[in-house]
Amino acid sequence: MDQIIEQLKQSLADDFLSKPERKTLETALGSRSLDKNQLNLLRTQIFELASERVNEKNYRFIVDWIKDVNNTITAYPQEKSYSYFSPGEACRNAIVQQLNDARKQLKICVFTISDDAITEAILKAHKRGLSVMVLTDNDKSLDLGSDIRQISQAGIAVKMDRTTDHMHHKFMIIDGRAVLTGSYNWTRSAARYNHENIVLTKEEGIVNSFLTEFEKLWNEMSSY
170 included as an active-site residue: yes
Q: Which of 160, 149, 155 is nearest to 125 (CA)?
A: 155
175 included as an active-site residue: yes
Radius of gyration of the chain (CA): 20
Residue tagged active-site, from 115, 137, 161, 175: 175
Residue tagged active-site, from 140, 169, 170, 202: 170
Backbone angles phi, psi at 83, to 5 degrees: -125, 145
Residue tagged active-site, from 127, 168, 195, 216: 168
Grouping H, G, I as helix, E, B as strand and the rest as coil, residue 159 is strand
- Is 126 within 8 Å of 150 (Cβ atoms)? no
- DSSP secondary-structure letter at 142? G
Q: Which amino acid is at 125?
A: A
- DSSP secondary-structure letter at 167? -
- In angstroms, the CA 26 to CA 75 distance is 9
Strand ranges (DSSP E) for 69-223? 82-86, 105-110, 131-136, 157-160, 170-174, 178-181, 196-201, 222-223
- Catalytically annotated residues: 168, 170, 175
